[in-house]
Amino acid sequence: TTDATCSLTLTDSSNDEPPTAILSDSGVRKHNNRGSSDKYILHCSECDYNTDNKWHLINHVRTHTGEKPFKCSKCIYKTAFMSALKRHMRTHMSDKPFECSQCNYKAAQISYLKLHIQSTHAGDKPFECSECNYKSAQMSTLKFHLKTHTGDKPFQCAECNYKSTTKSNLTIHRRTHTGDKPFHCSECDYKSATPTTLKTHMLKHTGYKPFQCSDCSYKAITVSHLKNHMRTHTGEKPFQCSECDYKSATTTTLKTHMLTHTGDKRFECSKCIYKTAFMSELKKHMRTHTGDKPFECSQCNYKTAVMSNLKRHMQTHTSDKPFECSQCNYKTAMVINLKRHMQNHSDH
């Protein structure tokens, strides 16, 4: 009857093994599908989502379970949706139907093209700072920037000594205490605390790296990444700690170092005495207890607990060895290996 209510359990035995969805029915809706007169409205038990299509609900439930049954045969990419896998597979093929109208760039996905245009062909920035080289497309953002020169930081963190010129920056900073990363990449498992870092990350999926190092074959997706890389050649470390002699090549590593002075380590391991200022670091540490190594090489059996280790390992499968010894013919794909090698010369 049209006022009936019931509950359903949908399961599927296909090879993709979709999640079992517990469904409830809030009523019956008429339709003319293959002679049937009634149609159930299917509801997600975790949120307000509803649909009349079983497969739509099964796909939706994966957003709650985190299940990603569709795997790329070429790399470590996984996704909850077949349509997303099809889009991803274009990155491994020459099929790039989306073309930039301002240069020769081509993309496999429209989202990649949009990111390219935003990062490369951004509009004019007529508002210039009188104190430095900063430029902005909007007067409002220039006003925020000018506060970095005045020293006015009215927004203070309740957990540490951090102060900010804007409330939005304070909100972002608070996530270093909570570990909250609300911005999710649609192509992989990456999560970010800010939309800006997510946009930068998304460029990695496009494969577009317009900024090239003049000293080696390194290419970068942003000019700031290239500047950071160039310091591996120059040895420059312009960012200095105000509390000790520590110097860093990047502001990110300096910020991490500064936490060693504040003593703010609110994230504690339940298995040992380890403490850290970052939830992400605690998650990495916990793998030393569980033995979990979720990051797998697509070229061999190598597994690791940390994504950065996998990135370094992947360089061993390429012929690109940009780091050369100045005293012999040794070449390597990683700067850390070159540093170890150079010790052999200094020991003799």
Nearest to 59 by CA among 37, 81, 44: 81
Tokens of 213: 């190092």
pLDDT at 259 over 80: no
Residue 124, pLDDT score: 63
Tokens of 200: 């930068």
Q: What is the mean pLDDT of residues 29-41?
A: 49
Residue 348, pLDDT score: 65
> Residues 276, 175: contact at Cβ < 8 Å?
no
pTM of the predicted structure, to 2 decimals: 0.38
Instruction: Specify the higher pLDDT residue, 92 or 300.
Output: 300
Tens digits of per-residue pLDDT, 57-115?
A: 887 777 777 778 888 877 777 787 787 787 777 667 666 777 887 777 777 777 777 76
pLDDT at 241 over 50: yes
H/E segment holding residue 86: helix 82-89
Among residues of the chain, what percentage have pLDDT more than 70? 84
Q: What is the mean pLDDT of residues 285-290?
A: 90
- E strands, 4-79, in order: 6-10, 21-33, 36-43, 50-51, 70-71, 78-79
Q: What is the mean pLDDT of residues 123-138?
A: 76
